[in-house]
Amino acid sequence: MEIRNFIQKIFSASNEIQVPEPVKEQFAEQFADTINIEWQRTGDLFEAVFYRNELENIASYRKDGTFVCLKINLPLSELPLKVTETAAEHGELMNAILIECDDKREYELIIRDAELIRYFLLADEEGNVKRKEKLSF
């Protein structure tokens, strides 16, 4: 069992993301009070997945350190009332993520209807639905 763990560590180390210094510096400046930071690469973006104030966050950056956006996995109780009301019109609210990009706030919502079909909704701060898609698993 020890050898197996050792081999897994070797292979997982070779898959580590090489985060550019400007990205690390900008992240440290913006989010000094974080714990459990993990880096991922999605296309051209570097994403830090971390916890702050007991909430999961994902901060995205370009390789030059330019901040792109922040996503926060919100407790349902912290959604604005208008967003909660909109969600209720479509079904049971299952999950909510706040997206802060370009001085704009939007909410990614997972909704389940009476037939237990799940939907993705993108809503603005006023509760206006910008997109609705049926999720397939």
pLDDT digits (tens, 9 = 90+) for 6-51: 445 444 444 578 999 999 999 999 998 887 899 999 999 999 999 9
- Tell me the average pLDDT of the chain: 90
Domain CATH code at residue 93: 3.10.450.40
SS3 112: strand
pLDDT at res. 14: 45
Question: What is the CB neighbour count within 10 angstroms for residue 61?
Answer: 23
Q: Can you give the residue range of the structural domain that contains 86?
A: 75-137
Domain count, the chain: 2
Q: Above 70 in pLDDT, residue 119?
A: yes
Does the pLDDT at position 124 exceed 70? Answer: yes
What pLDDT does 4 receive?
52
Q: What 3-state DSSP class applies to 120?
A: strand
- How far is it, in rounded angstroms, from Cα 24 to Cα 20? 7
> What pLDDT score does 60 carry?
98
On whether both 11 and 55 belong to a single domain, the answer is yes
| Same domain flag for 95 and 51 | no
Q: Of 46, 70, 94, at which residue does a domain stop?
A: 70
The 10 Å Cβ neighbour count of residue 56 is: 14
Whole-number pLDDT of residue 89: 96
- In sequence order, which residues have a C-beta less than 8 Å from that of residue 95 and are 6 or more positions away? 73, 76, 109, 110
Same domain, yes or no, for 52 and 93?
A: no
The Cα diameter of the chain in Å comes to: 55
Same domain for 23 and 87, yes or no, is: no
My answer on whether 61 and 25 are in the same domain is: yes
Looking at 70, 96, 127, the residue that finishes a domain is 70
Q: Give CA–CA dist 36/51, Å, rounded.
A: 6
At 106 the three-state DSSP class reads strand
Same-domain check for residues 59 and 4 = yes
Which residue, 34, 51, 70, sits at the end of a domain? Answer: 70
